[in-house]
Structure 1
Amino acid sequence: MTSSVLNRRAFGAVSALSAAAVFAPAIVRSQGESIPALGRVTVAVGGQGLLYYLPLALADSLGFFRAQGLEVVTRDFPAGARALQAVHDGAADVFSGAFEHTLRAQARALPLRSLVLMGRAPQLALGVSTRVSPGGKDFGDLAGRRIGVSSIGSSTHLAASLMLLRAGLASPDVTFVGVGSAGNAMNAFRSGQVHALCHADPVMTRLEQTADMRIVGDLRSLKAAQEVFGGAMPGSSLCAPQAFVQKQPAQAQALVDGIVHALKWLQTAALADLVKTVPSAYLIGDRSAYLAAFSRVRETYSANGQMPDDGPATAHRVLSRVLPGFADTKLDLARTYTNDFVRKARQKYNV
């Protein structure tokens, strides 16, 4: 498994003018007030340029982590499932990815907790190639096809499986293929390695706008997610092993503070601010497509980082439907997340 180690500069820097005029007031401390040296935390991410992980990227590039005295280093992996494995292997401290991984981890006796919720919906879509099925508009065209997902076992695999089940297709009716994230996923789709793709933005919007893809299943809005999942389905979150939470509570709080601050910034940020803040590589060569994708999913970002009351139960219900035998697994859903750090951050930033 290949990964690249990126320090905080990899997320880009805000221009000096923007920092002075907009962001500096949020991070400046009074003279004589020391910033605690909390050290370094390594975060494993499954596709850092995806909008799915935008709050994490913003918290770093806007200096919100550094304002807490924390250095954040990201390790990028082709998919969320692989990023989570890096945490289990000791290659990273915490994990940024789909909340439902905390349930799977508990089922394997690996205690993992969500510290802060970034997305209130999965922000995923399923599309079929217009070359393979020029007039296809429904799931019937997917029978016998190869469907690309970020990796087997990732949230893209789960979402695609659920959408197929709802359409009357079982997993044996298709072949799932791990294609990685962003550029690799687009290349696999355009080259015909897969006939359909379930992925996140800006990948899906770019393929849709270039007429390479026709969307047949869409989970990029709160309404659509509610209809498909039957409740509030948590999306991206920042998760940590229970041992990290117990041994490094100050680092955990600093991470959550940074994310909550970024979520607040997102509530009022202009598109021009976003473009100035994220690295150009995230735009995947098409600024307009990136901004269109952001506008589409913007409502799905959490306003305050707090896990909704019915979120864990919804995730459990979805996993029980898709994964054989999971319904019989005994889980303590209250131990898959904590809102304690978020409550403190909300008081701090008045959100």
Structure 2
Amino acid sequence: MSLARILLDSAATTALVATMALSAPSARADEKVSIMVGGYEKQIYLPAKLTEALGYFKDEGLDVELLNEPAGVDAENEMLAGAVQGVVGFYDHCIDLQAKGKFVESIVQFSQAPGEVELVSAKHPEIKSPADFKGMSLGVTGLGSSTNFLTEYLAVKNGLKLGDFTSVPVGAGTTFIAAMQQDKIQAGMTTEPTITRLLKTGEASVLIDMRTMEGTKAALGGTYPAASLYMQTDWVEAHKDTVQKLANAFVKTQKFINTHTGAEIADKMPKDYYVGDKEGYVKALDAGKAMFTPDGIMPEGGPETVLTVLSAFKKELQGKQIDLSKTYTSEFVKNAK
């Protein structure tokens, strides 16, 4: 065989191998999706980081970038600006945004209770109910956030006007704790593990507990769907395959939470989430695990409760017709593998 023929055959073989490599399934790039989480160290938003840790995004061929934003309202703004494709935040934003002419829908409903607690500083034992909020500074994660919505509702429900108190954006975790220690806030709404940290030191006590279904119904009058994955409706319609893969991954996580102990779940989470107290983290998780839906489906009657709560104090919603069927969809969770 001539040298020219050998070189020609070698080149053809190289080209064939290259073509096969390019066409192989393993060479396909994962689909990139960016999701903003309203504080992914909060236990209420645990499904986001847990799904990543369990490898469920990768199993679906997704390259999901989780971005942290302490206040849900800021995460919402990032999505509306097109910086991210989805938000892990409270479902109530979907209703609030429709009143402003923007259509956003919950794709996977993570929880059926807010997982929030109104804490009162030990320095202010005179606060015995939301009726005592008059003249007080109340901590919320951010202005326009779900903690702000719930705080305003509880105050109005107990006879106050919105101008009778001041909502102070203090985030969660260390910044919330510092604000209470420095008496910048006399009470405030927060989640685990911040709740356990303040109760353990005796610096705060529980005024209203919405970590359980019973406590939520007592405070808000019904099931209150809270943590969810929500996305702009237009984006969902244009990327149904990607959204289905996200739903597949998250529904697997909901089932994992439903079938594992707090300790087993905690072992999958970053150690810095324990804030130096793994025992307290696990205890809080075991106590609040029932707030998570087992399958990602919107709880029956939940959207109506949220609309009733928001309508009590939000002028933008009063007198408006809100189509609740456009604020969530069960299509993808029902089709999940």
Q: TM-score, normalised by structure 2?
A: 0.88
- Tell whether the 8 Å contact from 1:96 to 1:238 is kept in structure 2 after alignment: yes
SS at match of 1:115: strand
Letter in 1 for 2:53: S
The Cα of 1:162 is off from its aligned counterpart by 1.7
Quote the residue 2:314 is aligned against.
Answer: 323
- Tell whether the 8 Å contact from 1:36 to 1:68 is kept in structure 2 after alignment: no
Give CA-to-partner distance per residue, 1:280-321, whole Å, 9 cap, x none.
121122212212221221111001100123121111111101
Quote the residue 1:60 is aligned against.
Answer: 52
SS at match of 1:223: helix
- Tell whether the 8 Å contact from 2:263 to 2:282 is kept in structure 1 after alignment: no
Quote the residue 1:116 is aligned against.
Answer: 108
State whether structure 2 residue 183 is matched by structure 1 residue 192: yes
State whether structure 2 residue 97 is matched by structure 1 residue 105: yes
Partner Cα separation in structure 1 for residue 216 and residue 304 of structure 2: 15
SS at match of 2:224: coil
State whether structure 2 residue 222 is matched by structure 1 residue 231: yes
Quote the residue 2:151 is aligned against.
Answer: 160
Q: Provide the aligned C-alpha RMSD in A.
A: 1.8
Letter in 2 for 1:59: T
Quote the residue 2:5 is aligned against.
Answer: none
Quote the residue 1:78 is aligned against.
Answer: 70
Quote the residue 1:8 is aligned against.
Answer: none
The Cα of 1:139 is off from its aligned counterpart by 3.3
Partner Cα separation in structure 2 for residue 35 and residue 117 of structure 1: 33
Quote the residue 1:301 is aligned against.
Answer: 292
Quote the residue 2:84 is aligned against.
Answer: 92
The Cα of 1:83 is off from its aligned counterpart by 0.3
Partner Cα separation in structure 1 for residue 225 and residue 85 of structure 2: 22
Give CA-to-partner distance per residue, 1:38-67, whole Å, 9 cap, x none.
411000111110011111111111001110
State which drifts further: 293-302 or 134-143.
134-143
Cα gap change, 1:262 to 1:315, in 2 (>3 Å): same
Partner Cα separation in structure 1 for residue 134 and residue 159 of structure 2: 10
Letter in 2 for 1:129: S
Partner Cα separation in structure 2 for residue 288 and residue 71 of structure 1: 32
- Which consecutive unaligned segments of at least 5 residues does structure 1 have? 1-31
Matches within 5 A, 1:267-282: 267-282=258-273
State which drifts further: 65-74 or 33-42.
33-42
Partner Cα separation in structure 2 for residue 335 and residue 314 of structure 1: 16
- Tell whether the 8 Å contact from 1:137 to 1:214 is kept in structure 2 after alignment: no
Select the residue among 160, 169, 179 that pairs with 2:170.
Answer: 179
Partner Cα separation in structure 2 for residue 193 and residue 49 of structure 1: 23
The Cα of 1:141 is off from its aligned counterpart by 4.2
SS at match of 2:335: helix
The Cα of 1:232 is off from its aligned counterpart by 1.8
Percent of aligned pairs sharing the same letter: 30
State whether structure 2 residue 119 is matched by structure 1 residue 127: yes
SS at match of 1:277: coil
The Cα of 1:79 is off from its aligned counterpart by 0.4
Partner Cα separation in structure 1 for residue 189 and residue 208 of structure 2: 9
Partner Cα separation in structure 2 for residue 60 and residue 35 of structure 1: 21
The Cα of 1:206 is off from its aligned counterpart by 1.5
The Cα of 1:189 is off from its aligned counterpart by 1.8
The Cα of 1:35 is off from its aligned counterpart by 9.7
Partner Cα separation in structure 2 for residue 187 and residue 75 of structure 1: 24
- Tell whether the 8 Å contact from 1:44 to 1:94 is kept in structure 2 after alignment: yes
Quote the residue 2:12 is aligned against.
Answer: none
Partner Cα separation in structure 1 for residue 57 and residue 27 of structure 2: 11
Quote the residue 2:15 is aligned against.
Answer: none
The Cα of 1:182 is off from its aligned counterpart by 2.2
State which drifts further: 241-250 or 166-175.
166-175
- Tell whether the 8 Å contact from 1:38 to 1:250 is kept in structure 2 after alignment: no
Q: TM-score, normalised by structure 1?
A: 0.85
The Cα of 1:136 is off from its aligned counterpart by 4.6
Quote the residue 1:310 is aligned against.
Answer: 301
SS at match of 1:47: coil
State whether structure 2 residue 333 is matched by structure 1 residue 342: yes
Quote the residue 1:205 is aligned against.
Answer: 196
Letter in 2 for 1:70: L
Give CA-to-partner distance per residue, 1:231-283, whole Å, 9 cap, x none.
22111000011122112111111111111101101112123322221101211
The Cα of 1:34 is off from its aligned counterpart by 6.3
The Cα of 1:168 is off from its aligned counterpart by 2.5
The Cα of 1:165 is off from its aligned counterpart by 2.3
- Tell whether the 8 Å contact from 1:122 to 1:235 is kept in structure 2 after alignment: yes
Total equivalences in the alignment: 314
